[in-house]
Amino acid sequence: MNIVSLLYRNAFRHKLRTFLTILGMTIAILAFGLLRTVISAWYAGVEASSASRLVTRSSISIIFPLPISYKDKIKEIKGVKIVSYGNWFGGYYIDEKNFFPNFAVEPKSYLELYPEFVLSPEQKAAFIRDRRGFIAGRKLVSRFGWKLGDTVTLKGTIFPGNWDFVLRGIYSGKYDTTDETQFIFNWEYLNETMKKTVPRRADMAGFYMIGLTDANMASDVSVEIDKTFKNSIAETLTETEKAFQLGFVSMTEAIVIAIQLVSFVVIIIIMAVVANTMAMTARERIGEYSVLKTLGFGKWHIAGLIFGESLFITMTGCAIGILLTFPAAKIFSSALSAFFPIFFVSVKTIYMDIISAVIVGIAASIIPTYRSINVRIADGLRKIG
Amino acid sequence: METKKPIVEIKNLFKSYRRGSQIIPVLQDITLDIAEGEFMALMGPSGSGKSTLLNLIAGIDKADSGTIRIGDVDITKLSETELALWRSSNVGFIFQFYNLIPVLTAFENVELPLTLTGLSRKQRKEHVSMALEVVNLSDRMDHYPGQLSGGQQQRVAIARAVVTDPAILVADEPTGDLDRVSAEDILGLMERLVHELGKTIIMVTHDPRAAKKAHIIKHLDKGVLNEYSQSAL
Ligand SMILES: Nc1ncnc2c1ncn2[C@@H]1O[C@H](COP(=O)(O)OP(=O)(O)OP(=O)(O)O)[C@@H](O)[C@H]1O
Ligand SMILES: [Mg+2]
C-alpha cells in the first residue's frame, strides 16, 4: 500500500461521478482535437505552399488576366529560374456540388516547378504529349473511380461549354500536406478553344508561377517583376506563394478565429466541470485529509492526493479522447474532402490535447488543495461524525 | 515514582478562540504533569475544553502561550512541518468515530502511518501483523471498515495508533459511539496497552465507567483543571 494506491482508489469512490467527469473530458478533448484539425486544414494550403516560389497576378484583382507575353519578360529578370502560368478553370464534374480545384497550366514547366506532385515518367510524358490530357490527384481519382485513359467531361463556368479531357496521369503527394484532389490540364487546350470561340480571351494567363534560383532573392525579384510592368496596360502584383495562399485564408480569418475561440471555450468549460468535481470531492474528504495530517502526512501528500486524482481523471479522458479523434477525423475527412483536401490529426494537435488535459487537471485542483491544506486539523476532524 | 521525570509536562497553558471580534477563552493557565505509563482520564462538561487540551498535547493545535514538554521536546516551539514529523513517531490517535479510511482494508489502514517511515514492505507487514494481533483482529485484516462493527473498527484504529510504537496515546471519547460490551472490550484493550506495553494514555470521556479504568481522573471546568479521586465516582 502506498499513497498512489490510495489516490487510485479515491478516484473510484464515486464511480458514476468519476465516469461522467472522464466522459466529459473525453468529449472535450475530442471536440478540441477536431476543431484544431479543422483550423490546420484551413491553413493546409499555406502550409504546403513554398516561400521560394512566387505568384504574379493582376494588381487589380485575381479575376483579371495578364497577357501571355509577360512570360518572356519575367524570364529575363535576374534570379528567375522557371516561369509557368495557368488559369483557374472553375469547372465542375456532372453536378455543381462535385467541387474540386481545377486549373489549366503549361504542363512541362508546371511539373518542374511543383516536384511535390509525384508522377511516373511515362505518365508525365503522356500528359505533356496530349493536348486534351489531364492529371489528377490520387484522392480525386478514387472519389470518382476514374481510370487512366478515361474521358472526363467538365462543365465550364468561367469558360462555358462541355470540355472533354483524357486522364493521362495520377499523381500522389510528396508530403502529408500536398493536396491530392486537384485536376490539372493543358493550358494550350484552353487557349486554342478560346482563339476559336472568344478571341479576346485568348493568350491570357490568370497567373504566373515563378521558381527562383535562390529563395533569398524572393523580395528583390518580386519588386523587379512589378516594376517591369508598372504603367503597362496590366500592372502586376507579385508575392510569395505562401503570402498568396495566406491572402485567401485571411478572407476567412473571422471564421478561423471563431473556431479557435470555441476550441478554447470547450477547454474552459471542462475545466469548470472538473474543478467542480474536485471541489466536491475535497469537501467530502476534509475529515479524512485531517486524519492523514494527524498521522503526520504533510501538505505535499495532501496536494499529491488531490492533484493526482484530478490528473488521473483528466489524463484518462484525454487518452480516450485522443484515441477517438482519429476515427472521428477520418469520418470528417471523407465527408468534407471537397472543403478540406488535407484533413489529418497532426502531432501538434495531440500535444495540445495533452497540454490542455494537464492544465485542466492542475487548474481544477488548485483551490480544493489550497482549502484542504489550510483547514486546521482540529476543525477538519470536527467535520466527522 | 517521584524521582522520575514526567513524560508530559504542561506549564501555564492558555488557549482561546476568536469568533469575529469576540475572544472566547477556553483554557486558562493549565499546569499538568503526566507520568510515564499513566492512564489518565479527562472529564468535564461539554464545551469545557477537553478536546482542545487533548489536541494541544497531541500537537495538532497551537496554544496561545505556555509550554508543553513531551519527553525532551517542547512541542510549542516546533514548526508545523516539524510537528507533523513529531506526531508521526510520538503520538497515537484514537477518535470517537474511529476515522478509518473507508477505501483501505483494515491491514492497509494500520499500514498507513508506516508508509511515512523508511521501513521495507516486509518490515511493515510484520509491524502491521503484530499490531493487529494485539487488538485480536488478525482474521479481519482484509475487511474494509464498512464490513466491520463499530467495536472492531475502533480496534483497527487502536492498532493504527500503536503500530508506530509511540510512547503516548490520546483518545477523544473512544467509547462514545459504542455499546456497553464493545466499550468494555476497548477499555480492556487500552488497559492492556498501559500494563503490558507501558504506553501513556490520555483519554477524554463522559462515561464514568470508562474513567474508572484510569489511574487518575482530571476534571476540566470553565478552563480550569481539578483532580478527582477514584472514590469520588
Ligand atoms: N474552531 C473553533 N472556533 C471557535 N470556537 C471553538 C473552536 N473549537 C472549539 N471552540 C469552542 O471552544 C470550547 C471548547 O471546545 P472543546 O471541543 O474543546 O470542548 P469539549 O470539552 O471537548 O466538549 P465536548 O465534550 O462537547 O466534546 C467550546 O466552547 C467550543 O465552542
Ligand atoms: Mg470534545
Beta-bridge partners for A118: A172
Tens-place pLDDT, residues B139-181:
999 999 999 999 999 999 999 999 999 999 999 999 999 999 9
According to the model, what pLDDT value does residue B3 have? 54
- Report ipTM for this prediction: 0.93
Can you tell me the distance from the alpha carbon of B27 to that of B40, in angstroms, rounded to the nearest whole number?
18
Contact call for residues A118 and A173 (beta carbons, < 8 A): yes
Can you tell me the distance from the alpha carbon of A73 to that of A85, in angstroms, rounded to the nearest whole number?
13
Q: Look-up: residue for cell 494506491? A: A5
Contacts of A294 in chain B (CB under 8 A): 58, 60, 87, 93
- Report helix, strand or coil for A39: helix
Tens-place pLDDT, residues A48-74:
788 789 999 999 888 899 999 999 999
Determine if ligand 1 sits within 6 Å of the CB of residue B56. Answer: no
* CATH assignment, B37-48+82-231: 3.40.50.300
Instruction: Please choose, from the candidates B91, B128, B89, the residue with its C-alpha nearest in 3D space to the C-alpha of residue B112.
Output: B128
Q: Give the DSSP letter string of B14-47.
A: EEEEEETTEEEEEEEEEEEEE-TT-EEEEE--TT
Determine if ligand 1 sits within 6 Å of the CB of residue B24. Answer: yes
Mean pLDDT of A321-333: 93
Buried b (16+ CB within 10 A) or exposed e, A358-371: eebbebbbeebbee
To test the contact with chain A by mutation, choose from B46, B98, B115, B178 the residue with the greatest count of A C-beta atoms within 10 A, namely: B115
Contact call for residues B84 and A296 (beta carbons, < 8 A): yes
Closest C-alpha to ligand 1, atom 5: B17
Tens-place pLDDT, residues A120-165:
999 999 999 999 999 999 999 999 999 999 999 999 989 999 999 9
Q: Cα of A197 to ligand 1 centre, how many Å? A: 102
Mean pLDDT of all residues belonging to chain A: 92
Contact call for residues B38 and B215 (beta carbons, < 8 A): yes
**Residue extents of the structural domains in chain A:** 3-44+252-381, 60-234
Determine if ligand 1 sits within 6 Å of the CB of residue A379. Answer: yes
Beta-bridge partners for A137: A171
Which residue of chain A has the CA closest to B55? A378
In the chain, the amino acid numbered B128 is V
Instruction: Check CB contact under 8 Å for A295 and B97.
Output: no
Contacts of B103 in chain A (CB under 8 A): 6, 9-10, 13
Strand ranges in chain A using DSSP code E only, listed in sequence order? 53-58, 66-67, 80-88, 92-93, 102-105, 117-118, 133-137, 151-156, 161-173, 183-186, 204-205, 207-212, 236-240
**Distance from CA of residue A132 to its chain's centroid?**
33
Please tell me which of the candidates A10, A294, A298 has its beta carbon nearest to residue B60.
A294
Tens-place pLDDT, residues A237-296:
999 988 888 877 777 788 889 999 999 999 999 999 999 999 999 999 999 999 999 999
Determine if ligand 1 sits within 6 Å of the CB of residue B25. Answer: no
Ligand 1 atom nearest to CA at B54? 18
In the chain, the amino acid numbered A29 is I
Tens-place pLDDT, residues A15-34:
999 999 999 999 999 999 99
Which residue of chain A has the CA closest to B96? A385
Contact call for residues B55 and B78 (beta carbons, < 8 A): no
Predicted confidence (pLDDT) at residue B2 exceeds the cutoff of 70: no
Q: Determine the residue of B14, B52, B62, B172 to mutate for testing ligand 1's pocket, defined as the one with the most ligand atoms within 8 A of the Cβ atom.
A: B52
Distance from CA of B232 to the nearest CA of A (A): 32
According to the model, what pLDDT value does residue A86 have? 95
Q: Look-up: residue for cell 487548474? A: A363
Cα separation values, A364 from A276, A279, A280, A315, A324, Å: 8, 8, 11, 13, 24
Determine if ligand 1 sits within 6 Å of the CB of residue B18. Answer: no
Buried b (16+ CB within 10 A) or exposed e, A73-83: ebeebebbebb
Whole-model pTM: value is 0.80
According to the model, what pLDDT value does residue A370 have? 96
- Report helix, strand or coil for B144: coil
Can you tell me the distance from the alpha carbon of B33 to that of B13, in angstroms, rounded to the nearest whole number?
12
What's the N-to-C CA distance of chain B in angstroms?
25
Can you tell me the distance from the alpha carbon of A284 to that of B218, in angstroms, rounded to the nearest whole number?
35
Categorize the per-residue pLDDT at A332 as very low, low, confident or very high, splitting at 50, 70 and 90.
confident
According to the model, what pLDDT value does residue B1 have? 47
